[in-house]
A and B are shown apart, each in its own frame.
Chain A
């Protein structure tokens, strides 16, 4: 059964909720079923927030992640809070700032997501889009075309070029991290 369970985590305000929506939308553009849920604290910024996406060819009943295939964490706090229920074959895609203890058995891919958005693009607001580029480059859970279409559908008018650039940088830094 072709089913993916993805958990995106970070600090409130990093845009991971929108990232989850974009990923689910891309899956639907690819003709699959997708469900996106979220969990966050009462604060508008800070704290740890997560967005979960399930993608499947079949009907999705239970809407939350049970056996995580992919965990994305952009902050240490969110990694520590949401690093559970990961499959043995599950992948951890972590921002370079996240430190992992040596006994982690999962495959860890460290990608400079926050730094790329902040320093290379100079726009921390596209951290989530860089992150989606990296996640899709590594996992191929949705097609590049569907991802781009989904991004452009959900971002504010006038920011299309910036977001395209953020996506391709996301692909790029993920490729380099895989070498």
Chain B
């Protein structure tokens, strides 16, 4: 076995990816099924000159990660449902203050403490609407251990590039499963760092956007003195009551994603060219879908897969295109119907949409998808 091929757990791949991306700070409060991310960060960060802090709760973990990032360190925190709820207020703070940070949610069955060791996809809409007010959201969703490695790196890159919180939406199955991973050479990994100002310290305007709508970010404490607040602020960072400034700021924050959508959105398709039926699935459920597709195609039923990799922003255009040439889209989810709301909103003019939902704390099996498809055919 070569050194680079390893049996690795999803949560471990997340930490390896974070370190490959340049993570130097982790703060959080351990919670099943994300605990290994905290454990491994605690073990690895001190060895590479980084810092790990276990905070008193998830709110403080989120706050510390934001603070560290403000000083220039790439920062991450990880949690599961109950902690994801607690982090929401500070996720909004990171959005308006434009501080890059990666938040991992290894989803477990909810609501509340729910079923700590059981998988779920119940936080997909919370990722979009969990914190109040209009704000930009990038949320990625891996469906394998290797992809967890890759998407953790991508989460850091997007956070740095667009100066915002990025959510990595895992689930218990992907977080805890182990599979073969080939780790790429460091030289083959694209790393993006935030753009820092080169102007004089006196001239620096911390919230004056560049052409891509993202302002340059100075490391706090490096001599570029500026004000950071969750209140609506002008280009200097100081609070403002101006309706014009409020309008411009909120629109710019959301437009950062809108105008750069093409750079951000990604998805996977399998067997969609000739598909009569498309399975819309993400995370661990996409793995069930792939097995179901193989078995259904053996029976002569033409089924394909559309798997959003960026859940937010949602890959709207491609899904609409596909819906125009397919007889049916089926959306299996480990919740009572969340991402299917987007599918319905975008595609119900063009095709029939069927739901398949499971909330008993167990993964959806290929046989359940097959039975649903054969039942509606």
A98 at the interface (CB under 8 A from B): no
1-46 of chain A: CB within 8 A of chain B: 21, 24-25, 28-29, 33-42
B176 touches A42 (CB 8 A): no
* Contact present for B180 and A34 (CB under 8 Å): yes
Give A38 to B172 CA distance when docked, in angstroms: 10
Q: Do A36 and B7 touch (CB < 8 A)? A: yes
> Is there contact, CB below 8 Å, between A41 and B117?
yes
Are B117 and A42 within 8 A (Cβ)?
yes
Q: Flag if A34 contacts B7 (CB, 8 Å).
A: yes
Q: Which residue of B lies closest to A149 (CB)?
A: B1
| Nearest A residue (CB) for B290 | A61
Residue contact A34 to B179, C-beta cutoff 8 Å: yes
A35–B117 Cα distance when bound, in Å, is: 18
Interface assignment of B5: CB less than 8 Å from any CB of chain A = yes
Shortest Cβ distance from A21 into chain B, in angstroms?
6
- Among A41, A42, A63, A66, point to the contact of B177 (Cβ < 8 A): A63
- Are the CB atoms of B7 and A25 closer together than 8 Å? yes
Question: How far is A24 from B294 in the complex, measured between Cα atoms in Å?
Answer: 24
Asked if A60 is at the interface (CB within 8 A of a chain B CB), the reply is: yes
Contact A37 to B366, CB < 8 A, known contacts A42-B116, A63-B287: no
A residues near B32, Cβ cutoff 8 Å: 42
Task: From B1, B176, B366, give the contact of A66 (CB < 8 A).
Answer: B366
Of B178, B179, B366, most A-chain CB atoms within 10 Å: B178
B121 smallest CB distance to A (angstroms) = 15
For the complex, what is the distance from the CA of A63 to the CA of B363, rounded to whole Å? 10
Scan residues 169-210 of chain B and give those whose CB is less than 8 A from a CB of chain A.
Answer: 173, 176-180
CB-defined interface of A50-82 with B at 8 Å, one 1/0 digit per residue? 000000000011111010000000000000000
* Distance in Å: Cβ of A177 to nearest Cβ of chain B: 29
Residue from A39, A40, A62, A66 with most neighbouring chain B CB atoms (10 Å): A62
Contact A35 B179 (CB under 8 A): yes
A interface size (C-beta, 8 A): 21
Q: Is A28 touching B7 in the complex (CB atoms < 8 A)?
A: yes
Q: Which residue of B lies closest to A49 (CB)?
A: B117
B129 located at the interface, meaning its Cβ lies under 8 Å from any Cβ of chain A in the complex: no
Query: Given the known A-B contacts A25-B7, A28-B7, A36-B7, are A62 and B178 also in contact in the complex, defined by CB atoms under 8 Å?
Result: no
Residues in A with CB closer than 8 Å to B340 are none
With A28-B1, A37-B177 in contact, is A61–B287 under 8 Å at CB?
yes
Q: Hey, which chain A residues are within 8 Å of B1, CB to CB?
A: 28-29
Name the residue on A nearest B145 (C-beta). Answer: A35
Check B101 for interface membership: any CB of A closer than 8 A: no
Cβ of B291 under 8 Å from chain A: yes
B179 closest partner in A (C-beta): A35
Residues of B within 8 A of A28 (CB): 1, 5, 7, 180
Q: Is the interface of A mostly helix, strand, loop or mixed?
A: mixed
| Cβ contact of A62, chosen from B116, B117, B290, cutoff 8 A | B290
| Residue count of chain B within 8 Å CB distance of chain A | 22
For residue A36, which residues in chain B have a CB less than 8 angstroms away from its CB?
Answer: 7, 177-179
Q: Which residues from 314 to 363 on chain B have a C-beta closer than 8 Å to any C-beta of chain A?
A: 363
Asked if B269 lies at the interface with its beta carbon under 8 angstroms from chain A, I say: no
What's the Cα separation between A29 and B3 when bound, in Å? Answer: 11
- B309 an interface residue at 8 Å Cβ cutoff? no
State whether A61 touches B291 (Cβ < 8 A): yes
A24 touches B287 (CB 8 A): no
Residue of B nearest to A37 (CB): B177
Give the residues from 252 to 302 in chain B that come closer than 8 angstroms, CB to CB, to chain A. Answer: 284, 287-288, 290-291, 294
**Nearest A residue (CB) for B5:** A28
Q: How far is the CA of A66 from the CA of B363 in the complex (A)?
A: 12
Query: Looking across the interface, which residue of chain B has its beta carbon closest to that of A41?
Result: B117
Which B-chain residue is minimally distant from A64 (CB atoms)? B363
A41 CB to nearest chain B CB (Å): 7
CB distance from B120 to the nearest CB of A (A): 14
Which A residues are in CB contact (< 8 Å) with B179? 24, 33-36, 60, 63
Complex CA distance for A66 and B367, rounded to whole angstroms:
9
- Decide: B365 and A24 in contact? CB cutoff 8 A: no
Q: Footprint of B on A, CB under 8 Å?
A: 21, 24-25, 28-29, 33-42, 60-64, 66
- 6 closest pairs, A vs B, by CB? A61-B290, A62-B291, A36-B178, A35-B179, A61-B291, A25-B7
Chain B residues near A (Cβ < 8 Å): 1, 5, 7, 32, 116-117, 173, 176-180, 284, 287-288, 290-291, 294, 363, 365-367
Instruction: List 8 extra interface pairs beyond A33-B180, A63-B173, CB under 8 A.
Output: A24-B178, A36-B7, A37-B177, A42-B117, A60-B179, A63-B177, A64-B363, A66-B367
- List 10 A-B pairs, Cβ < 8 Å: A29-B1, A33-B180, A35-B178, A36-B178, A37-B173, A37-B178, A38-B176, A42-B32, A62-B291, A63-B179
